Structure 1
């Protein structure tokens, strides 16, 4: 994996005080490697945690609900909605905390909260204790957004899309490893996967505690904590304060909400339409995860370098629209799988978008920007599942006359088409990154 180094000969101020060239080079290299390794590991563990919960958490909830599937479904909706609300409320707070006090303490807080959440899942005696763990995790789930701010601190603007692509590949790796690990350990005990996840998370937390360098020097931090901006509405002030930034955030929101369709209905849709078994579902997770890794880790950098961040966003949106349309129209399981390479191209979208957005804010605002994005993700997490779930339920009930079980997926394609149109209007790269304060 390429090393993240400070820009050479740029107008951006150096990350540390000036030193003789040979000394600065010798010191910068291990700091950057240690930082990126930890950040990538944190994103990977987060993704594995989500992957572990796919096959395990619903069954654990059902077990704790006395085997009542309907009650388990209601609890599952409550858990998912509450988690999204916690992100919506606390994302801006943690983002601004990272601008004021540095990225490192917020990352450590987030990882510690994730580890405690896994322990709640592993040992919770009742559903309400399990629910409390999800509340805690949602309130501290800023590790990925703060990680993006960390990478924006240490990466030249022209290389950020490539690095954000690597970060996106962590989710693809997680959805390869997580469901497999959860399924294997869950065969022995439904709580064992959460114990393993807690051990991994606390191990990463200890590594960060002793090894991770801070990426935001004190002189570049926000001078005060602005409570008026530390909420979902206040966070929008930053998005409105830069030309095109609010529009880019809108593109990101449309991406996030459209992306909720597959986590919401994928298992039900493919089981209903194609009769897929759990084994086929697992193989599909593997296939899509590998394709995501290929795009995000190996293709994003060269493609963005050739066509630019704006065109990468447009390319990702086109691939997403075509991929969703293919999934919705596929009449057989084999046809569905043939659309996976097309849909994998959606992985170009967010790295390019993050590259454009981080260019428009100053170093002491990167955490606030990522906190605002986290709030929009929270809104998508709250609104997406009921939107797509209800549309899918309606299309299934009327399938005899409508013949469109993929209606919800077509809706996701339409949202991405809107994102494409909005990108054409707002996604112009600024001439230079804002001057550092």
Structure 2
């Protein structure tokens, strides 16, 4: 996650350096380039999930990390925004390290501790997200934007080596590996509720990612040309990660104790509340404070969804089902930045925060209605 998040603070600056000058166009291209990786990922995730169930999750970790190491290095050599978009799109075809890691933990951890295990995994993921923007923002001013991608490729290669040498998996190959999608859903007790979780994942990611690619632009407006925008943007992005690290294991234990559905609903509602005042801040300190609170609420969302899914499906098809859920997450990653970028370009960044809040309120109600009887804590 350090490698993946290194580029977040300066992606709009990189696009500008590649020849896009107008602020509105930078916002639009930021959304497109940011979401390009997830376009193909949304379609290939179930395929990688199926292969993970058939051949093991560790193999998927190695495939994804090595592929991303090569592509990240190539991104540092691009000459225009179209090449950047193409390589980000290609990355989506080989992406999938985090989904494979989630499936690995979900299948290896005891069922009664799945919330804590997935919450702890989320802590590691968010820790990388926290450190990455700070490193990326600093390195971009020291060694230049292009060279940061070479560093990112190095982090991806390191991830490959760590996975190769230290990850252990007790993999039991299922008796059948050629199940159709229809047969997979027949093995699930409440398939309609599972689909509801997929939609919830989509809405969470749509809301969460709608603002990410335009944070740098918002910071620049609030900073009033104070300089070092990349570093400041990295700090604004990272502060939510810091609070997420603090909250994720605690919320994971609460999920095991009181039920993942309850934690999910509360976090969705509180996040919706926190998004509203972000549209009306007057300085960076206010924005950073609200982003810190947002990280606390976000910490319980996707781990709770993953825990609910893990408890709802047989282990033999866990990889496939998590692949479906990752497709929903990637679709949210596509729609969020694109619509967020377009809305910011035509109506202003403030409207993005308000619409995001509305979606989260709807999501909380959706979880309450669809899972009232079938997603209670066992």
Question: TM-score normalised to the size of structure 1?
Answer: 0.75
Match of 1:38? none
**Deviation of 1:322 (Å):** 1.1
Establish whether residue 155 from structure 1 lines up as the match of residue 118 from structure 2: no
**Higher RCO structure (Cα 8 Å, ≥6 apart):** 2
- Provide the secondary structure at the position in 2 that maps to 1:409: helix
**Deviation of 1:255 (Å):** 0.7
Match of 1:290? 242
Stretch of structure 1 that moved more, 128-137 or 385-394? 128-137
- Provide the secondary structure at the position in 2 that maps to 1:217: coil
Match of 1:324? 275
Of 189, 202, 217, 1:253 maps to: 202
Q: Measure the CA separation in 1 of the matches of 2:325 and 2:168.
A: 24
Match of 1:414? 358
Q: Measure the CA separation in 1 of the matches of 2:247 and 2:215.
A: 21
Of 294, 299, 303, 1:351 maps to: 303
Of 344, 363, 366, 1:392 maps to: 344
Question: How many residues of Structure 1 are paired with residues of Structure 2 in the alignment?
Answer: 369
In 2, are the aligned partners of 1:150 and 1:215 still within 8 Å (CA)?
no
Q: Measure the CA separation in 2 of the matches of 1:431 and 1:182.
A: 41
Of 179, 182, 196, 2:136 maps to: 182
Match of 2:148? 193
Match of 1:208? 163
Of 349, 370, 376, 1:426 maps to: 370
Distance 1:90 1:239, change over 3 A: farther
For residues 231-278 of structure 1, give each alpha carbon's deviation from its aligned partner in whole angstroms, at most 9, with x where no partner exists.
Answer: xx9998888962511112222111111111220332223433563742
Of 299, 315, 328, 1:376 maps to: 328
Establish whether residue 272 from structure 1 lines up as the match of residue 221 from structure 2: yes
In 1, are the aligned partners of 2:5 and 2:133 still within 8 Å (CA)?
yes
Of 339, 342, 347, 2:293 maps to: 342
For residues 260-314 of structure 1, give each alpha carbon's deviation from its aligned partner in whole angstroms, at most 9, with x where no partner exists.
Answer: 12203322234335637425434333432211111114x2233224432111101
Q: Measure the CA separation in 2 of the matches of 1:197 and 1:323.
A: 32
Stretch of structure 1 that moved more, 383-392 or 236-245? 236-245
**Deviation of 1:189 (Å):** 3.5
Distance 1:349 1:222, change over 3 A: farther
In 1, are the aligned partners of 2:136 and 2:148 still within 8 Å (CA)?
yes
**Deviation of 1:358 (Å):** 1.0
Distance 1:269 1:235, change over 3 A: farther
Q: Measure the CA separation in 2 of the matches of 1:330 and 1:238.
A: 49
**Deviation of 1:130 (Å):** 4.4
Larger Rg: 1
- Provide the secondary structure at the position in 1 that maps to 2:59: helix
Match of 2:67? 113
In 2, are the aligned partners of 1:99 and 1:222 still within 8 Å (CA)?
no
In 1, are the aligned partners of 2:133 and 2:235 still within 8 Å (CA)?
no
Q: Measure the CA separation in 2 of the matches of 1:156 and 1:361.
A: 14
Q: Measure the CA separation in 2 of the matches of 1:222 and 1:193.
A: 45
Of 262, 267, 283, 2:211 maps to: 262
For residues 329-387 of structure 1, give each alpha carbon's deviation from its aligned partner in whole angstroms, at most 9, with x where no partner exists.
Answer: 43444443443343222211221121111111111211111111121122212221232
Distance 1:68 1:301, change over 3 A: closer
In 1, are the aligned partners of 2:38 and 2:333 still within 8 Å (CA)?
yes
Distance 1:252 1:55, change over 3 A: closer
Establish whether residue 225 from structure 1 lines up as the match of residue 178 from structure 2: yes
In 2, are the aligned partners of 1:256 and 1:380 still within 8 Å (CA)?
yes
Stretch of structure 1 that moved more, 334-343 or 260-269? 334-343
Q: Which structure 1 residue ranges, 5 or more long, are not aligned?
A: 1-46, 397-404, 433-437
Alignment of 1:164-179 (within 5 A): 164-179=118-133
Q: Measure the CA separation in 1 of the matches of 2:10 and 2:183.
A: 37
Establish whether residue 315 from structure 1 lines up as the match of residue 266 from structure 2: yes
